[in-house]
Amino acid sequence: MTLSHSFSSIKMYENCPKRYYHQRVTKEVKDTGSDATIYGERVHEALEHRLDKQVALPAESEAYEPLCKSIEDMGGTLQVEQKLTLNENLTPTTWWEKDAWLRSILDVQFCLMIRLSLWIGRLVNVDPTFHS
Protein backbone atom coordinates (compact mmCIF):
# COMPACT_ATOMS: atom_id res chain seq x y z
CA MET A 1 0.00 0.00 0.00
CA THR A 2 1.32 3.42 -0.95
CA LEU A 3 0.34 6.37 1.20
CA SER A 4 0.47 9.96 0.13
CA HIS A 5 0.78 12.77 2.62
CA SER A 6 -0.77 16.17 3.16
CA PHE A 7 -0.54 18.79 5.89
CA SER A 8 -3.75 17.52 7.47
CA SER A 9 -2.71 13.85 7.37
CA ILE A 10 0.66 14.64 8.97
CA LYS A 11 -1.04 16.70 11.70
CA MET A 12 -3.53 13.88 12.29
CA TYR A 13 -0.67 11.40 12.72
CA GLU A 14 1.15 13.74 15.11
CA ASN A 15 -2.01 14.21 17.19
CA CYS A 16 -3.14 10.58 17.28
CA PRO A 17 -1.38 7.80 15.34
CA LYS A 18 -4.21 5.36 16.13
CA ARG A 19 -6.82 7.68 14.63
CA TYR A 20 -4.59 8.16 11.58
CA TYR A 21 -4.32 4.39 11.15
CA HIS A 22 -8.08 3.76 11.38
CA GLN A 23 -9.08 6.77 9.29
CA ARG A 24 -6.36 6.99 6.62
CA VAL A 25 -4.90 3.47 6.35
CA THR A 26 -7.67 0.94 7.02
CA LYS A 27 -10.45 3.50 6.35
CA GLU A 28 -12.58 1.81 9.03
CA VAL A 29 -13.56 5.20 10.45
CA LYS A 30 -14.99 8.15 8.55
CA ASP A 31 -14.73 11.64 10.04
CA THR A 32 -18.13 13.31 9.76
CA GLY A 33 -16.78 16.59 11.14
CA SER A 34 -17.72 18.62 14.18
CA ASP A 35 -19.86 21.75 14.15
CA ALA A 36 -16.64 23.80 14.22
CA THR A 37 -15.21 21.87 11.25
CA ILE A 38 -18.39 22.30 9.24
CA TYR A 39 -18.43 26.04 10.02
CA GLY A 40 -14.74 26.33 9.05
CA GLU A 41 -15.40 24.59 5.74
CA ARG A 42 -18.26 27.02 4.98
CA VAL A 43 -16.06 30.04 5.76
CA HIS A 44 -13.19 28.57 3.73
CA GLU A 45 -15.47 28.08 0.73
CA ALA A 46 -16.89 31.61 1.09
CA LEU A 47 -13.36 33.09 1.16
CA GLU A 48 -12.39 30.99 -1.86
CA HIS A 49 -15.37 32.29 -3.88
CA ARG A 50 -14.79 35.85 -2.69
CA LEU A 51 -11.12 35.90 -3.75
CA ASP A 52 -11.49 33.83 -6.92
CA LYS A 53 -14.80 35.07 -8.33
CA GLN A 54 -15.47 38.27 -6.33
CA VAL A 55 -18.67 36.76 -4.88
CA ALA A 56 -19.90 38.75 -1.87
CA LEU A 57 -19.26 37.10 1.48
CA PRO A 58 -22.34 35.71 3.26
CA ALA A 59 -23.38 37.35 6.54
CA GLU A 60 -21.60 34.79 8.72
CA SER A 61 -18.28 35.56 6.96
CA GLU A 62 -18.52 39.35 6.52
CA ALA A 63 -15.93 39.90 9.26
CA TYR A 64 -13.31 38.51 6.83
CA GLU A 65 -13.88 41.20 4.18
CA PRO A 66 -10.96 43.38 5.43
CA LEU A 67 -8.70 40.33 5.13
CA CYS A 68 -9.89 39.76 1.55
CA LYS A 69 -9.28 43.41 0.67
CA SER A 70 -5.77 43.36 2.13
CA ILE A 71 -4.96 40.21 0.15
CA GLU A 72 -6.23 41.81 -3.06
CA ASP A 73 -4.26 44.99 -2.33
CA MET A 74 -0.98 43.05 -2.25
CA GLY A 75 -0.82 43.20 -6.04
CA GLY A 76 0.56 40.64 -8.43
CA THR A 77 -1.40 37.74 -9.83
CA LEU A 78 -3.67 36.11 -7.28
CA GLN A 79 -4.31 32.38 -7.64
CA VAL A 80 -6.75 30.49 -5.46
CA GLU A 81 -6.86 26.76 -4.60
CA GLN A 82 -3.78 25.78 -6.60
CA LYS A 83 -2.86 22.09 -6.35
CA LEU A 84 0.77 21.19 -5.70
CA THR A 85 1.88 17.56 -5.89
CA LEU A 86 5.37 16.13 -5.39
CA ASN A 87 6.78 12.61 -5.61
CA GLU A 88 9.31 11.13 -3.15
CA ASN A 89 12.15 12.86 -5.03
CA LEU A 90 10.34 16.20 -4.54
CA THR A 91 9.72 16.40 -8.28
CA PRO A 92 6.38 17.87 -9.37
CA THR A 93 3.83 15.34 -10.53
CA THR A 94 0.08 15.34 -11.12
CA TRP A 95 -2.57 15.07 -8.40
CA TRP A 96 -3.70 11.47 -9.08
CA GLU A 97 -0.36 9.98 -10.22
CA LYS A 98 0.57 6.76 -8.45
CA ASP A 99 3.92 8.29 -7.44
CA ALA A 100 2.26 11.24 -5.67
CA TRP A 101 3.88 11.45 -2.26
CA LEU A 102 2.83 14.91 -1.03
CA ARG A 103 -0.37 16.65 -2.05
CA SER A 104 -1.17 20.18 -0.99
CA ILE A 105 -3.68 22.80 -2.02
CA LEU A 106 -2.34 26.32 -1.81
CA ASP A 107 -5.34 28.32 -0.65
CA VAL A 108 -3.92 31.64 -1.84
CA GLN A 109 -0.83 32.18 -3.97
CA PHE A 110 0.60 35.46 -5.20
CA CYS A 111 2.83 35.68 -8.25
CA LEU A 112 4.59 39.02 -8.04
CA MET A 113 6.59 40.71 -10.77
CA ILE A 114 9.84 39.71 -9.05
CA ARG A 115 8.76 36.06 -9.37
CA LEU A 116 8.29 35.68 -5.64
CA SER A 117 5.42 33.51 -4.47
CA LEU A 118 3.77 33.82 -1.08
CA TRP A 119 1.48 31.10 0.17
CA ILE A 120 -1.10 31.54 2.84
CA GLY A 121 -2.54 28.41 4.44
CA ARG A 122 -5.97 27.99 5.86
CA LEU A 123 -6.46 30.15 8.90
CA VAL A 124 -7.27 27.10 11.01
CA ASN A 125 -4.18 25.19 9.82
CA VAL A 126 -1.51 27.85 10.18
CA ASP A 127 1.24 26.65 12.52
CA PRO A 128 3.21 29.67 13.78
CA THR A 129 6.13 27.44 14.75
CA PHE A 130 6.57 26.08 11.20
CA HIS A 131 9.30 27.61 9.04
CA SER A 132 9.93 26.45 5.51
Give pLDDT tens digits for 23-50. Answer: 989 999 998 888 998 999 999 999 999 9
Gap between the Cα atoms of 79 and 72, Å rounded:
11
Q: Is the pTM of this model over 0.75?
A: no
Closest to 48 measured CA to CA, from 112, 117, 122, 103: 122
Q: How many CB atoms lie within 10 A of CB 108?
A: 21
First to last CA, the chain: 29
pLDDT value, residue 131: 42
What residues have CB less than 8 Å from 1, skipping those under 6 apart?
25
